[in-house]
Amino acid sequence: MRRERGAPVPVSQASILAAGRGRAQPRTARIGYGSAMSATFDVAVAGLGAMGAAAACHLARRGLRVVGFDRFSPPHDRGSSHGETRIIRVAYFEDPRYVPLVRRAWELWTALEHDAGERLLERTGGLMIGPPDGELVRGALASAKAHGLEHEALSPPASAARFPAHHLVPGDVAVWEPLAGVLRPEPCVEAHLEGARRAGAELHVDEPVLAWEPDGEGVRLRTARGDWLSVHASPMHGGTQHSTVLILEEPGPGELTSLILTSHGVTGAQARVVALVLRGYSTKQIARQLAISQYTIQEHLRAVFDKLGVRSRQELAAALMRPSH
Ligand SMILES: Cc1cc2nc3c(=O)[nH]c(=O)nc-3n(C[C@H](O)[C@H](O)[C@H](O)COP(=O)(O)OP(=O)(O)OC[C@H]3O[C@@H](n4cnc5c(N)ncnc54)[C@H](O)[C@@H]3O)c2cc1C
C-alpha cells in the first residue's frame, strides 16, 4: 500500500497516497479511487484515440504499468480517428527527418495487423500531384532522394498514361511512390486497445479525466468516476514491529468534505469559511462569526473557488455534496 520511492507514480486518482505506518492513532490518510484503489501506475494515458491507444499498448508491452482513460468509448466518432481511411506515406514532403519514423510505423502497423488477425493496412501506392517547385512535389522528391526511396517522377503524359483518372493542370507534375497506402483507423484503435489490455493495461472508457496535479514524484489524475475512500492506518496490536492495519471505508459526509478540501490544498482558515457557507451563512454573518473582515472572507472564498474549479457558492456546495472527482 505504501508509495514506492523512486518510481514515477502518475496514477488515476487511484493510488492510496501515504497511509502512514506504525502510528499510535488511527488517522485519515489520503484519497483512493474506487475500482483501482490499491493500484499505482507508471503511466496514465488520458485519451485513447489513435495516439493514446498506441501509447498504452506499446508502453504496456514494455512492461510498464499503464492506466488509460477516455471520455467516450473508443473507437468513436467524436475525435480525430474515425472514418474509413487514413493515408500513410513514406516520402514525407513535410521533412526528410520523418522518413525513419514512418518506415518504423509501417513495420509496427504490419505487426499489429498480424497480431489482430484482421486487415488494418492496405498498400496502394500514392500519387502526389503539384507544381514541380511546389511544397508537395519538391518535398516528396527531397525525402525520396535523401533516403533512397523507390519513386517515379512522372511528366503529365506519363501520368495520364498510368493514371488516366487524374487530369493534371498545365504545369503540374506527379510523383508516384509505391510504398504508400491506407490504414483503417477505427480497427487500428481497437487493435491497439486490445493489445494494451492483453499486455495488462487497465483501461477505463466513458471516464473523462477532469484534471491532473503534481503529487510528490508523480502526478495524480482526477476522473469523473472516482469514488472517494478514506484510508485509516494504525499499528496492529501483537503484530510484528512494522505491522499496520489499513481500513478502507466510505467516508461520512463531514469527513468527505474535509477530504476533498484537504486534497485541493484548502487551508484551515479557508475550510472554516467553507463550513459556514455550507450552513447557509452570508458573508456578513461569517465575518461576525469568525471575527474577521468581510474582505478576508471574500479572499478566502475566491481562493477556495479557484482551488476547486467552481464559480459560485452553489457550485461549491454541489462539488462538496456530490463530488465528481
Ligand atoms: C478528416 C481527417 C483526415 C485525416 N487524414 C489523415 C491521413 O490521411 N493520414 C494521417 O496520418 N493523419 C490524418 N489525420 C490526422 C489523424 O487522424 C490524427 O492525427 C489522429 O487521428 C489523432 O489521434 P489522437 O489520438 O491524437 O486524437 P483522437 O483520436 O481524437 O483521440 C483523442 C481522445 O481523447 C479523448 N479525450 C478527450 N478529452 C478527454 C478527457 N478529458 N478525458 C479522457 N479522454 C479524453 C477523446 O474522447 C478521444 O478518444 C486526419 C484527421 C482528420 C480529422
Residue 77 DSSP one-character state? S
The confidence score (pLDDT) of residue 10 equals 31
Does the beta carbon of 87 sit less than 6 angstroms from any atom of ligand 1? yes
Does the beta carbon of 72 sit less than 6 angstroms from any atom of ligand 1? yes
User: Is residue 64 within 8 Å of 51, Cβ to Cβ?
Assistant: no
Domains of the chain, first to last: 27-76+189-247 (3.50.50.60), 86-183 (3.30.9.10), 252-321 (1.10.10.10)
The confidence score (pLDDT) of residue 217 equals 72
**pLDDT tens digits for range 58-117:** 999 999 989 899 999 999 999 999 999 999 999 999 999 999 999 999 999 999 999 999
61 CA → ligand 1 middle, Å = 22
Share of the chain above pLDDT 90, in %: 60
Does the beta carbon of 71 sit less than 6 angstroms from any atom of ligand 1? yes
Please report the beta strands in 224-281, taking only residues with DSSP state E, as ranges in sequence order. 228-235, 244-249
**pLDDT tens digits for range 241-295:** 566 655 555 556 666 787 788 778 889 999 999 999 988 899 999 999 999 999 9
140 CA → ligand 1 middle, Å = 24
User: Is residue 294 within 8 Å of 62, Cβ to Cβ?
Assistant: no
**pLDDT tens digits for range 21-60:** 233 333 333 334 444 343 568 888 999 999 999 999 999 9
User: Is residue 218 within 8 Å of 321, Cβ to Cβ?
Assistant: no
Residue 31: which of 216, 258, 235, 263 has the closest Cα? 263
Torsion angles phi and psi, residue 124, rounded to 5 = -115, -20
The confidence score (pLDDT) of residue 180 equals 97
The alpha carbon torsion through 48, 52, 54, 58 (nearest 10 deg) reads -110
Residue 323: which of 225, 188, 239, 184 has the closest Cα? 225
Instruction: For a ligand 1 pocket test, name from 12, 57, 81 the mutation site with the most ligand atoms within 8 angstroms of its C-beta.
Output: 81
**Residue 36's CB: how many other CB atoms inside 10 A?**
18
Does the beta carbon of 70 sit less than 6 angstroms from any atom of ligand 1? yes
86 CA → ligand 1 middle, Å = 11
Q: Is the pLDDT of residue 154 over 90?
A: yes
Does the beta carbon of 56 sit less than 6 angstroms from any atom of ligand 1? no
User: Is residue 85 within 8 Å of 182, Cβ to Cβ?
Assistant: yes
144 CA → ligand 1 middle, Å = 27
Q: How far apart are the C-alpha atoms of 190 and 54, rounded to whole Å?
A: 10
The confidence score (pLDDT) of residue 125 equals 97
Q: Pick the residue with more confidence: 164 or 322?
A: 164
Q: How far apart are the C-alpha atoms of 56 and 79, rounded to whole Å?
A: 17
The confidence score (pLDDT) of residue 8 equals 28
**pLDDT tens digits for range 286-325:** 999 999 999 999 999 999 999 988 999 988 988 887 654 4
Residue 90: which of 114, 124, 59, 46 has the closest Cα? 124
Q: What are the residues whose beta carbons fall under 8 Å from the beta carbon of 68, sequence distance 6 or more?
A: 44, 45, 46, 48, 52, 53, 56, 196, 201, 202, 203, 204
User: Is residue 19 within 8 Å of 246, Cβ to Cβ?
Assistant: yes
313 CA → ligand 1 middle, Å = 37
Does the beta carbon of 47 sit less than 6 angstroms from any atom of ligand 1? yes
C-alpha cell at 41: 501506475
Does the beta carbon of 74 sit less than 6 angstroms from any atom of ligand 1? yes
Burial (Cβ within 10 Å: 0-12, 13-18, ≥19) of residue 276: middle
Q: How far apart are the C-alpha atoms of 35 and 284, rounded to whole Å?
A: 43
Q: How far apart are the C-alpha atoms of 253 and 259, rounded to whole Å?
A: 10
Across the range 1-14, mean pLDDT stands at 31
The confidence score (pLDDT) of residue 46 equals 92
The confidence score (pLDDT) of residue 174 equals 97
Residue 217: which of 59, 7, 38 has the closest Cα? 7
Name which residue sits closest to atom 15 of ligand 1, judged by CA. Answer: 80
Q: Residue 222 — pLDDT band, cuts 50, 70, 90?
A: confident
Residue 18 DSSP one-character state? -
The conformational region for residue 103 under phi > 0 = left, psi -120 to 50 = alpha, else beta, is: alpha
Across the range 189-215, mean pLDDT stands at 90
52 CA → ligand 1 middle, Å = 9
Q: Residue 19 — pLDDT band, cuts 50, 70, 90?
A: very low
Does the beta carbon of 101 sit less than 6 angstroms from any atom of ligand 1? no
Per mean pLDDT, which range of 34-43, 150-159, 218-227, 295-304 is the poorest?
A: 34-43
Does the beta carbon of 181 sit less than 6 angstroms from any atom of ligand 1? no
The confidence score (pLDDT) of residue 236 equals 63
Does the beta carbon of 109 sit less than 6 angstroms from any atom of ligand 1? no
Does the beta carbon of 52 sit less than 6 angstroms from any atom of ligand 1? yes
324: helix, strand or coil? coil
Q: Which of 2-6, 42-46, 123-127, 206-210 is predicted most confidently? A: 123-127
Angle among Cα 110, 111, 113 to the nearest 5 degrees reads 65
Across the range 188-210, mean pLDDT stands at 94
Q: Which of 16-20, 28-32, 226-230 is predicted most confidently? A: 226-230
Q: Which numbered atom of ligand 1 lies nearest the CA of 80?
A: 30
